[in-house]
Structure 1
């Protein structure tokens, strides 16, 4: 069935600026699918969504928030021939519910994923601004280095961010070091396409947070590539893992850890914490490459923690 040119243009505009329900409605209209046929195609993929739920999403009466609903949105993007994460990026942060509204703020939710949780929340809370909920990670690459004494010395991060609302002009980067690391040993550098704004270290815990300022504000749907690096001074603390926490879904993630002779681990493995309240799990063993590098890759990462752990003996 031929689609009027103005309908195709409307979809492109709504995928950039939203709102979600309008973009979904226009994309379904352009595809020529009925809700029944869309539901059937989801069923074939093992994803079960009721007609009433699809209708509510299309009308803006409700929106996908649970993990299984977000997987349905990702499948809908494929079925309708849309760019990956184009609909998902329009959803914004989960809506506050219950006691969350009055007792908890987003930094504390982040803090529950990593230790020291309370210190992390206290450090991040002072710097969170409107841009925090207006950005999502399109992709991320973390490259950590471990020195000859077994201490973690730096983490270089490359990110592609996407604006999902508003006019974000900065990103908040956070790092938690191993227990026993003095706060003053932590440093941060803006490497590419950003500059340092406010930097806050917790006075008694190894936590640092830094604003990375863009040279322009982003429009909804626009992406921005930046690089930054956290450094850890000589502390003598021996590291046993490196972890990254995610508050929102991420399209693609790569983590690498490079070790320095002569101290090399004897066993290495993946780590995962699938959700805020889940336990940290040990996964598959990883082989140390000839260049003394370990790495893991992941696609369509959901909120939680991913990492690499290792044993020295």
Structure 2
């Protein structure tokens, strides 16, 4: 007589789903009505064993599934066992995020902890490209961001974006829209520190060693007072490319690129020639923690006659 195969989390979940007669779409909908949000792809990966719940939000979803399927408490969660050690799955020695080197670091760390409590060391950013679009009237129209990253552990399904706005901006009108391979999730605004943090839910779950490319746009639509833009890095990345696109009617008189270990420290600057008379382009290979950016000078606005 062949011994009975041991019951695993995925087999128990697959059995419960089959006995319920519900589709994954229906299960997702019923969980959402209970205030628990989980993607169809995630449910599919759980029942096939391709991935398993580990994050606190995912474990809450498993408990909700036990209730949905009228299972005994712990019928599924007990099969998960101890959480897998993430350090052994890492594909590289990712440096930990350190927000002490970026402006409003304490507030940023708090926002990241709220929207992505387990993400800070799950990915290695290989390449980041930004295009800052300035419209007529010296309006900061939008910031377009694309980045390529590699999962350092199994189960990476989200990342985050934090925008530091200028004092006086209406934070409630600033929003992040997805362009490719992601969608906005939770949003947190810190009006005291002028911060907008957005959770970015990836198109699928990525495991250690897999790379993913996402694009998103931060829509600002407000006048830019500080004549500069920079990106702050909480840990080193491979390559950073920044383009400042000025309105054709209002090119800057002069531009400088700068880099510093901290936004408040003296900067190393050099003058920057524009391409096409209205685009400032900067590429920083392996920038360390700190800031990389561009400042510019506009001619004074002529007085209204």
Q: TM-score range by the shorter chain?
A: 0.5 to 0.7
User: How far did residue 305 of structure 1 move?
Assistant: 0.9
DSSP 3-state at the match of 1:232: strand
The partner residue of 2:140 within 145, 148, 152 is 152
The unaligned stretches of length 5 or more in structure 2 are: 1-89, 300-305
| 1:228 to 2:230 alignment | no
Q: Which residue of 2 aligns with 1:305?
A: 291
Contact 1:243 1:306 in 2 (8 A): yes
Q: Which residue of 2 aligns with 1:264?
A: 251
For 1:209 and 1:172, the matched residues in 2 are separated by 7
Q: Which residue of 2 aligns with 1:10?
A: none
Contact 1:152 1:239 in 2 (8 A): no
DSSP 3-state at the match of 2:112: helix
Q: Normalising to structure 1: TM-score of the pair?
A: 0.62
Q: Which residue of 2 aligns with 1:165?
A: 153
The unaligned stretches of length 5 or more in structure 1 are: 1-87, 95-105
User: How far did residue 291 of structure 1 move?
Assistant: 4.9
Q: Which residue of 1 aligns with 2:131?
A: 143
Contact 2:101 2:234 in 1 (8 A): no
For 1:89 and 1:152, the matched residues in 2 are separated by 39
Q: Quick check: which has more Rg, 1 or 2?
A: 2
| 1:206 to 2:194 alignment | yes
Q: Deviations over 1:224-245 (max 9, x none)?
A: 00100101133x3434111111
Q: Which residue of 2 aligns with 1:90?
A: 92
Distance 1:222 1:137, change over 3 A: same
DSSP 3-state at the match of 1:224: strand
User: How far did residue 204 of structure 1 move?
Assistant: 3.6
For 1:258 and 1:215, the matched residues in 2 are separated by 29
1:117-196 to structure 2, matched below 5 A, reads 117-196=105-184
**Alignment root-mean-square deviation, CA:** 2.2
User: How far did residue 214 of structure 1 move?
Assistant: 1.2
Q: Deviations over 1:80-106 (max 9, x none)?
A: xxxxxxxx9611334xxxxxxxxxxx5
Contact 1:140 1:158 in 2 (8 A): yes
Q: Which residue of 2 aligns with 1:242?
A: 229
For 1:121 and 1:136, the matched residues in 2 are separated by 18
User: How far did residue 167 of structure 1 move?
Assistant: 1.9
Distance 1:175 1:280, change over 3 A: farther
Q: Normalising to structure 2: TM-score of the pair?
A: 0.63
DSSP 3-state at the match of 1:156: strand
